[in-house]
Amino acid sequence: MHLLIGVIAIQLAFGESGEADQDGALAQLAAQPAGYALLWIGASACLALGLWEASGVVFGYRNAPAKKRMGKKLAAAGRGVVFLALAASFASFALGNRKDSGESTSDASAQVMQMPGGPLLLMAVGAGIAITGIVFVVRGLMQSFTKQVDLPASRTLRRVTKVVGVAGYVAKGIALFLLGLLFIVATLQANPEESTGLDGALKSVRAQPFGVYVLAFIGVGLGCYGIFLIFKSRLAKMD
């Protein structure tokens, strides 16, 4: 998913059209030979990941220190929800149910804004996403992500893993920060139509001075993050 979104972001930087978000990535998959099968494979894989994380909540982290155990279980629960939601998106797309994700995000933002305390909730969501982005950037620059994997013995592979990890975490962090900032600005301006999700955040970057280069960097970085996750599937430390 990150690889595909990265490719779309690079294409946007060079003037091509597309949606640099989850729906855009799914559309890219669907357009490939055997795209229908790829979508169902993606749905099955994400479902398996969601169930794996759910099993961690129930059975995992028994050897973790007691002070950290609950935090790890909550993090696993959050990841499980994300993976299960992705599985639903893959399946829905395979069944032909598609709605523009930017419109979905802005519609949801408009509904929340009309609720009592809705603007504050949207501000909190935006701040949370932006802070998460900062955390990703710090993890990338500090290379703390290496604690999650057993680095390869080969010096070359070790260096490649670190490079794609740093670039990936920093780029994803920037993208999340921009997404959170978009939520905050849209809420302050009482204009939920501006909350158009990741695609809107990245396209707003392109409109800025030197935005083409920044967007290209983010696209390459998101691709690197996808590569790092592929490495992580083989190198991850098991709790």
Task: Decide if 7 is inside a domain.
Answer: no
Please state the domain count of the chain: 2
Pair (160, 232) in one structural domain: yes
Task: Decide if 176 is inside a domain.
Answer: yes
Pair (134, 235) in one structural domain: yes
- Does position 108 have pLDDT exceeding 80, yes or no? no
Q: What is the mean pLDDT of the chain?
A: 80
Task: Decide if 115 is inside a domain.
Answer: yes
Average pLDDT over residues 142-160: 88
Pair (34, 151) in one structural domain: no
Last residue of a domain, one of 65, 99, 133: 99
Name the residue among 46, 55, 128 with its Cα closest to residue 85.
Answer: 46
- Distance, in Å, from the CA atom of 17 to the CA atom of 85, rounded to the nearest integer, reads 26
Pair (220, 185) in one structural domain: yes
Q: Contact, 118 vs 108, CB < 8 A? A: no
- With bands split at pLDDT 50, 70 and 90, how would you rate the model's confidence at 195? low
- Does position 15 have pLDDT exceeding 90, yes or no? no
Pair (131, 215) in one structural domain: yes
Range of the domain at 147: 106-239
Average pLDDT over residues 221-225: 89
3-state secondary structure of 64: coil
Pair (56, 165) in one structural domain: no
Pair (125, 223) in one structural domain: yes
The whole-number pLDDT of residue 191 equals 60
- Does position 193 have pLDDT exceeding 60, yes or no? no
Name the residue among 21, 19, 9 with its Cα closest to residue 205.
Answer: 9
Angle between helix 197-206 and 101-113 (nearest 10): 110
Task: Decide if 8 is inside a domain.
Answer: no
Task: Decide if 112 is inside a domain.
Answer: yes
Q: What DSSP designation does 194 have?
A: G
Name the residue among 58, 52, 109 with its Cα closest to residue 236.
Answer: 52
Pair (121, 24) in one structural domain: no
Task: Decide if 167 is inside a domain.
Answer: yes
How would you write 79-109 as a 3-class SS string?
A: HHHHHHHHHHHHHHHHCCCCCCHHHHHHHHH
Last residue of a domain, one of 52, 82, 99: 99
Last residue of a domain, one of 82, 99, 116: 99
- Distance, in Å, from the CA atom of 136 to the CA atom of 172, rounded to the nearest integer, reads 7
3-state secondary structure of 149: strand
**89 burial class (0-12, 13-18, 19+ CB within 10 angstroms)?**
buried
Pair (125, 234) in one structural domain: yes
Task: Decide if 82 is inside a domain.
Answer: yes
Average pLDDT over residues 149-155: 85
3-state secondary structure of 190: coil
Percent of the chain scored above 90 by pLDDT? 13
The whole-number pLDDT of residue 186 equals 72
Average pLDDT over residues 226-233: 88
Tens of pLDDT along 51-96? 988 888 888 777 777 777 788 788 888 888 888 888 888 888 888 7
- Does position 162 have pLDDT exceeding 70, yes or no? yes
Pair (138, 225) in one structural domain: yes
- Does position 198 have pLDDT exceeding 70, yes or no? no
Output phi, psi for 83, to 5 deg.
-65, -40
Pair (67, 43) in one structural domain: yes
**156 burial class (0-12, 13-18, 19+ CB within 10 angstroms)?**
exposed
Pair (117, 228) in one structural domain: yes
Task: Decide if 3 is inside a domain.
Answer: no
Tens of pLDDT along 112-134? 667 677 677 777 888 888 898 89
